[in-house]
């Protein structure tokens, strides 16, 4: 019995441990599972199309190259969606993207994404980005006017909005760490639900008379919002089981204490009183580095947790990569994240190599400005500038720290080095070839 008493706390920890590490979408069990949107089979997400019928195009999309007319919406904004229902290739990969265009004075009204953290990039104009904390933060309002090239992050489940404060149209691109992030428009949910929330409930909650609530319910914008809501029905009505990638946050923010002495999975939190407002925002990738300073002809500007402490516990990060003509981001693997990217200028050959499950199939396409791609977690891939001008891409990951394994450097420049006989056998070449390759990467660690 004494032994049982000693074991009880350990058993409790084992039972509760999975609850502490569940997050976002389920991990994939194969390279690709292109969504069969017409299947009558009900699963968490979508069933897979047969591999032979999927083709190559499911990894690529040109849908967000152009946006819609924001003046067509009463909100003065238009969303071009790239969730799984519009991009079947992201099924099981735990990522999606949207483009949002704003007329002057247009807004993406207060809303919540129940199943995803959002990371975004303003590409034109000036947007006021507002985030409202939960009761834990005293419902604090965080905000900043962001301009082209600046970024923001919205923790999963927090209410937020964007508003065009400029005199010209504005555009942003956002990525989510879910294939189906869900959306709850707060005004529509309160005043345009079907059936409606009883007026006395709202009257008490809002501390106003019933006639004010009835006015809000009857407002034409609520009726227009119902039309908008139908566009998001797939998102709102298809909840996902959460069990993968980075641990879920247990509070609104946990700004990384990069100098903290406590060892945890990720980083410990700074005291909330010392974090300030700036941790939600960054201008670091507004400009890139010199790609000619690197022998690969490319330069990576990182925005993982070590460079952007605000993403700690939020399961997202971003990079900007600039390429000289003929420059490459050499074959590499991200062991902890799926990657979703957009070419912002130039022409990049994007190559992905499947695992043995696909016969190590090579998927590729020349991706141009405004076009997107997705790289499943753990698959080898690269980018190569095939144009005559410099090229740039911005990529997002569904991990605060996706990790990277550069395949050439790992094979031939590790410290200590991989023994030559191992590589001779693996590569089926003579030792002098292996030694030549090692000499090219000597001193890079």
Of the CA atoms within 13 Å of residue 390, those in its CB half-sphere come to 13
Q: How many CB atoms lie within 10 A of CB 376?
A: 25
CA angle 328, 333, 336 (to 5 degrees): 135
Are 392 and 89 in contact, with CB atoms under 8 Å apart? Answer: no
Q: Annotated binding residue at 339?
A: yes
Q: Annotated binding residue at 111?
A: no
Tokens 């090219």 label which residue? 440
CA separation for the pair 218, 221 (Å, rounded): 9
CA separation for the pair 359, 90 (Å, rounded): 21
Q: Annotated binding residue at 319?
A: yes
CA separation for the pair 332, 375 (Å, rounded): 11
Of the CA atoms within 13 Å of residue 105, those in its CB half-sphere come to 3
CA angle 392, 398, 404 (to 5 degrees): 65
Are 400 and 336 in contact, with CB atoms under 8 Å apart? Answer: no
**Quick check: helix, strand or coil at residue 383?**
strand
Q: 212: which 2 tokens?
A: 């004010």
Helix ranges (DSSP H) in 178-290: 186-191, 199-206, 210-218, 220-231, 233-236, 272-275
Closest CA to 38 of 28, 47, 30, 29: 47
CA separation for the pair 312, 352 (Å, rounded): 28
Pick out the residues of the known binding site for oxalate: 319, 329, 334, 339
Pick out the residues of the known binding site for Mn(2+): 332, 334, 339, 381
Pick out the residues of the known binding site: 319, 329, 332, 334, 339, 381
């Amino acid at each position: 019995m004494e032994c049982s008493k000693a074991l009880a706390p350990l058993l409790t920890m084992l039972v509760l441990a999975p609850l502490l590490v569940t997050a976002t979408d389920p991990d994939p069990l194969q390279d690709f599972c292109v969504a069969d949107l017409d299947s009558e089979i009900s699963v968490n997400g979508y069933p897979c199309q047969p591999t032979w019928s999927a083709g190559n195009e499911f990894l690529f999309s040109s849908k967000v190259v152009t946006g819609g007319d924001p003046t067509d919406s009463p909100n003065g904004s238009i969303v071009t969606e790239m969730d799984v229902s519009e991009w079947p290739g992201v099924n099981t990969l735990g990522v999606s993207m949207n483009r949002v265009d704003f007329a002057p004075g247009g807004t993406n009204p207060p809303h919540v994404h129940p199943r995803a953290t959002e990371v975004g990039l303003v590409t034109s104009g000036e947007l006021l980005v507002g985030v409202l904390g939960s009761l834990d933060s005293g419902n604090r309002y965080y905000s900043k006017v962001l301009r082209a090239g600046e970024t923001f992050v919205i923790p999963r489940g927090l209410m937020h909005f964007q508003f065009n404060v400029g005199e010209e149209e504005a555009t942003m691109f956002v990525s989510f760490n879910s294939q189906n992030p869900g959306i709850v428009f707060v005004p529509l949910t309160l005043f345009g639900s079907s059936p409606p929330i009883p007026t006395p409930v709202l009257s008490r909650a809002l501390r106003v008379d019933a006639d004010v609530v009835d006015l809000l319910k009857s407002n034409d914008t609520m009726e227009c919002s119902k039309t908008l809501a139908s566009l998001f029905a797939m998102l709102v009505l298809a909840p996902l089981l959460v069990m993968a990638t980075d641990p879920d946050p247990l509070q609104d923010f946990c700004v990384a204490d990069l100098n903290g002495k406590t060892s945890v999975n990720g980083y410990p939190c700074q005291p909330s009183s010392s974090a300030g407002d700036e941790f939600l925002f960054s201008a670091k990738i507004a400009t890139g580095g010199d790609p000619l300073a690197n022998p690969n002809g490319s330069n990576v500007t990182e925005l993982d947790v070590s460079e952007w402490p605000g993403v700690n516990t939020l399961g997202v990060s971003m990079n900007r990569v600039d390429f000289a003509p003929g420059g490459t981001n050499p074959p590499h693997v991200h062991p902890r994240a799926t990657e979703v990217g957009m070419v912002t200028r130039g022409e990049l050959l994007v190559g992905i190599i499947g695992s043995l499950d696909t016969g190590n199939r090579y998927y590729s396409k020349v991706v141009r400005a405004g076009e997107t791609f997705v790289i499943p977690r753990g698959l080898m891939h690269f980018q190569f500038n095939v144009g005559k001008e410099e090229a740039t891409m911005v990529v997002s990951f569904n991990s605060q720290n996706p990790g990277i394994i550069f395949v050439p450097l790992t094979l031939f420049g590790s410290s200590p080095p991989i023994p030559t006989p191992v590589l001779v056998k693996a590569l089926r070449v003579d030792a002098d070839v292996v030694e030549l390759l090692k000499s090219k990467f000597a001193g890079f660690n």
